[in-house]
Amino acid sequence: MFIPVILAGGAGSRLWPLSRQLNPKQFLTLVDTGLSLLQATIRRLEGVDSALPRLICNEQHRFLAAEQMRQLGKDKANILLEPVGRNTAPAIAIAAIQAFKDAHDPVLLVLAADHLIQDVGAFHTCLKAALPLADAGKLVTFGVRPTRPETGYGYLEKGESVKGGGFRVNRFVEKPDLETAKVYLAGEDHFWNSGMFMFRASRYLAELEKFRPDILAACREALSKGEQDIHFTRLDHDAFSACPADSIDYAVMEKTSDAVMVPLDAGWSDIGSWSALWDVSEKNEVGNSFKGDVIGHATQNTYVYAESRLVATVGVEDLVIVETKDAVLVVHRNKVQDVKRIVDQLKAHGRHEYLDHREVYRPWGVYDSIDKGQRYQVKRITVKPRAKLSVQMHHHRAEHWIVVSGTAKVTNGDKTYLVAENQSTYIPIGQIHALENPGVIPLELIEVQSGSYLGEDDIVRFEDRYGRAEDAPE
């Protein structure tokens, strides 16, 4: 048996505009499975002897992660919350320290939450081959035979075979240029570095102690000073913020003498770019992959994702076109690695489109900002059954709520009352208020905000069942 450790802290900026900072790619359904990439990662472990997974994600993604785990019936799994990102070496260290304490030095299987594996049977076979090596004290990584001269991946150089299967890792190779990648593809000794690992918790911690004791000390402090909140483990903010940022490859795997590789031939992809998603998507006879309401004419080898409206193409090829409610991306398939430069520009100019979608998920439901102008904003709000927004007030805006379906329980100052379908209520500026769905069906309403400032940070929170900070966005 082993414990899966799922790393779900990435930003996925190269898959903008679908992937946003507050709703990154691991929580999105990008392939035709009906599951997010995180959920698919967990689901493919069914059929192997493994414990409940331990999920590591950013604090700001905790409700997304918890809801997706709940949908899989894994709501009792522990979720470790990073207050800031510090790369993979500290994240894995936190999981290893906790697992060593709780489960008496288990074998850990470290997986990224945003990878695709198409042949689950072959994946299981590979895990079974790796388990004896990890049990014997080796630090196992999984190498993927390259299928193209990829310059966006790191590589593993295969060494001599080891007893029990697998090969020693001669060296880890940085992302190569195109000519070097072609040489690797033609040879037999180089594999893509999948970023998946298997080892005993004690072996990883011992090697980290040897090579990066500063990381290990900071992680131990962050965990010891942290707090347990139901199934969330909250790390101490100051201690973890002081931890050096480093990857497991740099911190441990490139330095240890016990790194071994097990080849993985299971249709692996890291879905790290739009071209990678086009590669694994179902395509028509001229190489097009269309999602949503799309019409193409004289179009070839093109990926189109239409979220909210018709997208039509004429006379184009080798493009990626992605339409969301608030942004449109058009990029040549050979330039998709540069999409993150657009995200950098959005941040530099203070635009919101890098941060979240127009439709925003909250622990109580979802809202969609359907219109906005000077001194007003209109939202469509859906509140889950038995859910409640925080008790709060605003300094600069009033709110008018119109119930479309369901029944709202409204706290408005010192009064509490029900608002039924086709009824409305008004919340003045400065009034303490709350919104709750007391029913068993979703509550849908239209909220019209008016005032001199309509930012999400104009909130004073007095009570919140979800444990959010007083000035956190609703």
Once rounded to an integer, what is the mean pLDDT over residues 21-34? Answer: 91
pLDDT in tens, 377-421: 999 999 999 999 999 999 999 999 999 999 999 999 999 999 999
Neighbours of 252 (CB within 10 A): 29
- Say what the pLDDT of residue 433 is: 97
Q: What is the CATH number of domain 359-463?
A: 2.60.120.10
- Say what the pLDDT of residue 12 is: 87
Residue 72 burial by Cβ neighbours in a 10 Å radius (0-12, 13-18, 19+) = middle
- Say what the pLDDT of residue 82 is: 95
Coil, strand or helix at 98: helix
Q: Which of 159, 186, 187 is nearest to 172 (CA)?
A: 159
Domain edges within the chain? 2-269, 274-343, 359-463
Q: Which two tokens stand for residue 134?
A: 């990890």
| Residue 167 to residues 185, 197, 297, Cα–Cα distance (Å) | 18, 14, 50
C-alpha to C-alpha distance for 447 and 214, rounded to whole angstroms: 50
Residue 473 has pLDDT above 90, yes or no: no
Residue 474 has pLDDT above 80, yes or no: no
Banded model confidence at residue 228, pLDDT cuts 50, 70, 90: confident
Banded model confidence at residue 230, pLDDT cuts 50, 70, 90: confident
Once rounded to an integer, what is the mean pLDDT over residues 170-195? Answer: 92
Q: Which two tokens stand for residue 254?
A: 């490139």
Banded model confidence at residue 470, pLDDT cuts 50, 70, 90: low
Output the average pLDDT for the chain. 94
pLDDT in tens, 112-143: 999 999 999 999 999 999 999 999 999 999 99
Once rounded to an integer, what is the mean pLDDT over residues 150-179? Answer: 90
* Residues 226, 227, 231, 232, Cα dihedral to 10°: -50
- Say what the pLDDT of residue 466 is: 83
Residue 195 has pLDDT above 70, yes or no: yes
Banded model confidence at residue 83, pLDDT cuts 50, 70, 90: very high
**For residues 194 and 141, is the Cβ–Cβ distance under 8 A?**
yes
C-alpha to C-alpha distance for 212 and 216, rounded to whole angstroms: 7
Is the peptide bond prior to 149 cis by the omega test (within 30 degrees of 0)? no
Distance of CA 3 to the CA centre of its chain: 20
Banded model confidence at residue 264, pLDDT cuts 50, 70, 90: very high
Strand arrangement, sheet containing 289-291 = 289-291, 303-306, 319-323, 328-332
CATH 3.40.1170.60 describes domain 2-269: no
Provide CB contacts within 8 A for 151, sequence distance 6+: 175, 176, 177, 178, 181
Residue 172 has pLDDT above 60, yes or no: yes
- Say what the pLDDT of residue 160 is: 93
Banded model confidence at residue 41, pLDDT cuts 50, 70, 90: very high
Once rounded to an integer, what is the mean pLDDT over residues 306-313? Answer: 96
- Say what the pLDDT of residue 231 is: 78
- Say what the pLDDT of residue 471 is: 57
Region class of 315: left (phi > 0), else alpha (psi between -120 and 50), else beta? left
- Say what the pLDDT of residue 32 is: 80
- Say what the pLDDT of residue 370 is: 93
DSSP string, 240-260: HHTSPP--HIIIIITT-S-EE
Residue 75 has pLDDT above 80, yes or no: yes
- Say what the pLDDT of residue 225 is: 95
| Residue 284 to residues 290, 296, 315, Cα–Cα distance (Å) | 9, 11, 16
Once rounded to an integer, what is the mean pLDDT over residues 222-230? Answer: 90
Once rounded to an integer, what is the mean pLDDT over residues 163-176? Answer: 89
- Say what the pLDDT of residue 467 is: 79
C-alpha to C-alpha distance for 436 and 466, rounded to whole angstroms: 13
Residue 164 has pLDDT above 80, yes or no: no
Q: Which of 320, 334, 466 is nearest to 389 (CA)?
A: 466
Once rounded to an integer, what is the mean pLDDT over residues 298-309? Answer: 97
Q: Residue with structure tokens 């016990």?
A: 258
